[in-house]
Amino acid sequence: MERILIYDTTLRDGTQAEDFNLSLTDKVKIALKLDRLGIDYIEGGWPGSNPKDAEFFNEIKNQPLKHGRIAAFGSTRNPKKSADSDPNLNALVASGAPVITIFGKTWDVHVTDALRIGLSDNLALIEESLRFLRPHVQELFYDAEHFFDGYKRNPEYALATLERAVAGGADCLVLCDTNGGTLPHEIPPIMAEVKKMAERSGFAGVIGIHAHNDSECAVANSLVAVTEGARQVQGTMNGFGERCGNANLTSIMPALALKMGYAFTAAERLDRLTETARFVSEIANIAHNKYQPYVGMAAFAHKGGVHVSAVQRNPLTYEHIQPETVGNSRRILISDLAGRSNVLHKAEKFGLRLAPDDPLLTSILKKLKELENQGFQYEGAEASFELLMRRVMGAARQYFTLESFRVIDQKNDMDHPPQAEATIRLEVGGEAVHTAALGNGPVNALDNALRKALTRFYPCLEEMWLSDYKVRVLASDHGTGAGVRVLIESSDHNGQWSTVGVSHDIIEASWQALVDAVTYKLMKDECARKENHSSG
């Protein structure tokens, strides 16, 4: 089984993505997570470009990496400076990174129009820069920027740049599709010529691939390059990167390991892949792409009744791999397309006894379709759907009863934000409760008042918090009179759950979702207590 080297550049290339920003602490956290996954090379940044990247290389030395090797990134020397006096090259050496990667110009247009030097001068830059770095580093990689575009315009010169990189002492020649415009069928003939050049030059190192996704081919190009002899693959987690992004390692790695039979350390730890991918999104404060292959929430989600029925008999009918192999899980969605199989699957998951011929099954489906016709959606609100099922089945406990609530959002000063206050009246176990609370906005005030009223009866609510709040306008052509769907994600120390509410009044929709969130928490904790009591 041939081995592949995985080179992650999320901490450098990934941060060039729009809205993707990482602090020094964030970069260290991600580096440790990538190391745990088994990534071979973790590119930490460009120490010659900004202080934060330079600080990263100092900080990461104090971290106990178990597998990954830290790489520093930079460019060939400034045409006006010698290699030993170039600040960029000296910053790379000062970083102390065991691996250094530098890029140089391959496309003759960039040499003449961007650097404004002669083609032979650029060849000297490449060789001299690598030759200077060689004694100071354990492994030395050369990124041939714009290689495929450069080869298509001037193949002799593109190959000449690689020959000079070999002469300079590079251990790996990385072919970069920097503009992301190369298509998969173009890779094999170009790779064939690169291998011929490597043989002529006596190059005993590794050929790598670094693809961008501007033509939606970065993953495909990377996989094709491997079949043609590339043994290092560069990319980022979740495909983050400038413009349309980089080659997505969360798609490349399972394809290499599970479908193409290649070996690498992360291949032995793919059950950590989904967790790592979502961790990177969370640290970057970017919503994780639910439709992403392998690691997205929807990657193994089934909605149509025919699909669900088939998957329950044999998952291979609608799943190309077992979700557990990449740390993901199968999800059966509930919608107005749901068949009896979907609902039965959910009932089993929720611990509810429901036979295929039970009339309650028809009642649940009828209620589901009625509510979805009003705008409710339960695909992302499983807690609300479980409560719906329990209510129809008469298995839901009512922990409190609302008498009334009032929310006031008052603005007294145009230079200061408004003050929100909620007043609420409930009945709990026959006892009337009347309380009020302030909040950052009307929904937060209502949430605070509800839990203030209930906490003395149910102290476990102190452990619960609202972790996300989303509003979706329904039928937006109605303007401000349109209905809204509110989705609330709640958390405690044991997990997360989502609830939904729908109304023409955003406060009412929020109230519905809040009530479900609190009710689900109370039900969950009650079930846990009963289970512990019975097992004890």
Q: pLDDT digits over 458-495, tens only?
A: 999 998 988 888 888 886 555 555 688 998 999 888 88
- What rounded mean pLDDT belongs to the chain? 91
Tell me how crowded residue 420 is: count the other CB atoms within 10 A of its CB: 21
In CATH, the architecture of 5-283 is: Alpha-Beta Barrel (3.20)
User: What digits encode the pLDDT tens for the residues 410-453?
Assistant: 888 888 888 999 999 999 999 999 999 999 999 999 999 999 99
Highest-pLDDT range among 168-182, 374-388, 398-412:
168-182
**Sheet (strand 465-474) strand order:** 465-474, 483-492, 495-503
CATH topology of domain 400-457: Double Stranded RNA Binding Domain (3.30.160)
Cα-based angle 284, 286, 289 (whole degrees, multiple of 5):
125
What residue ranges do the domains of the chain occupy?
5-283, 301-392, 400-457, 464-536
* More confident: 341 or 23: 23
The predicted model gives 234-260 an average pLDDT of: 98
User: What digits encode the pLDDT tens for the residues 268-280?
Assistant: 999 999 999 988 9
* Band of pLDDT at residue 358, cut at 50, 70 and 90: confident
Q: DSSP state, 78?
A: P
- Where does 154-295 show beta strands of DSSP type E? 172-177, 206-211, 232-235
Give the residue from 209, 285, 293, 232 showing the smallest Cα distance to 259.
Answer: 293
Span 464-536: which CATH code? 3.30.160.340
pTM for the whole structure = 0.72
> Same CATH topology for 400-457 and 464-536?
yes
Predicted local confidence at residue 301, as pLDDT: 80
Predicted local confidence at residue 350, as pLDDT: 84
Q: Which amino acid is at 510?
A: S
